Amino acid sequence: MNLIRKLFGWKPKEKTIKKDDSVEINVEAEFNRTISILKGFKRTAYLPETKENSNSFSSKSKIGGFPYLRHENDWPTCPNCKKNMQLFLQLNLSELPEKSEEGLIQLFYCTNSQPLCESDLEAYFPFSKSVNCRKVVIENESAEIQPDINEIFDEKIIVDWNPVDDYPHFEEYSDLGIDLDLEDEVYEMMEEKKKGLPIIKDKLFGWPYWVQSVEYPFDRNTNRQMELLFQLDSEDHLPYMFGDCGIGYFTQSPDNKGELAFGWACS
């Protein structure tokens, strides 16, 4: 497996610039110019390092498995099929590598296929009713219940966060005021050198790897554009495929940390 491809994904679908054949571009110089422009937009993303764990009602950061529950009716149910929703992600905010706060953020998603709630309730759009995103306070020990769900994903505890440099997707350049048209050759060099691109895999913070276009949701009260909290790639740590190899974007409002959304897109 080509690690660069695995991390950084696909080439742009189309070129945004027409090259004049009579002009030889100096790829290395253009690459350096590109990186120096993008440097101002560099963020640190954190790749989760996980360890398999037997499902346990705990307040640890995890992907899949059992959530922390404040009481026995606390596991969200899907309004379409009435079953408990799958835990996709739980982040213990006091364990995150930066921006530390107290409490937990949980992402639940109905993975039932009969009925197919994902499609019935359009779970690819933010704020779907078959998705539950919430911030909760840790009070006591977690309640323990027998969930009503067809299959529970195996729990992967997040044991460490590996920092990596992350850069905006080219779809976002114009919104960010970045005046760059990437030549194919320059993009290939960025892939080769693993520099200047958004990472495609599961990650905390950083920049979204947009599969289609820029699709940030907006805070439903303040209308501010939300920010990437966690990106979930198809079948990276989570044994789940978003459409055809899509990517999920878990976002948070900068104004209100309780305003959370999840949506996904595929090509």
Residue 79: CB atoms within 10 A of its CB come to: 12
The reply on whether position 117 binds Zn ion by CB under 5 A is: yes
Q: Which is nearer to Zn ion, 74 or 219 (CB)?
A: 74
**Binding segment toward Zn ion, per CB under 5 A, in 24-32, 117-125, 144-152, 188-196:** 117-125
Q: Cα separation of 128 and 118, whole Å?
A: 9
| Cβ-based neighbours of 196, under 8 Å, separated by 6 or more | 31, 34, 35, 38, 167, 190
Nearest distance from C-beta of residue 235 to Zn ion, angstroms: 21
Q: Smallest distance, Å, CB 108 to Zn ion?
A: 10
Report the nearest approach of Zn ion to the CB of residue 117 (Å).
3
- Binding residues for Zn ion restricted to 93-112, rule: CB under 5 A: 110, 112
Q: Is 80 in the site for Zn ion (CB under 5 A)?
A: yes
Quick one: which of 69, 78, 204, 232 contacts Zn ion (CB under 5 A)? 78
Tokens of 219: 């805070």
* Cβ pair 85, 130 in contact under 8 A: yes
Check: CB of residue 243 under 8 Å from CB of residue 88: no
The 3-state DSSP class for residue 29 equals helix
For Zn ion, the closer CB: 16 or 113: 113
Number of residues that bind Zn ion (CB under 5 A): 6
Least distance to Zn ion, CB of residue 76, Å: 10
Pair 31, 189: CB distance under 8 Å: yes
- Binder among 63, 81, 204, 232 for Zn ion (CB under 5 A): 81
Q: Which amino acid is at 77?
A: T
* Calpha distance 254→114 (Å, rounded): 36
Q: How far is the CB of 220 from Zn ion (least distance, A)?
A: 22
Residues in contact with Zn ion by CB under 5 A are: 78, 80-81, 110, 112, 117
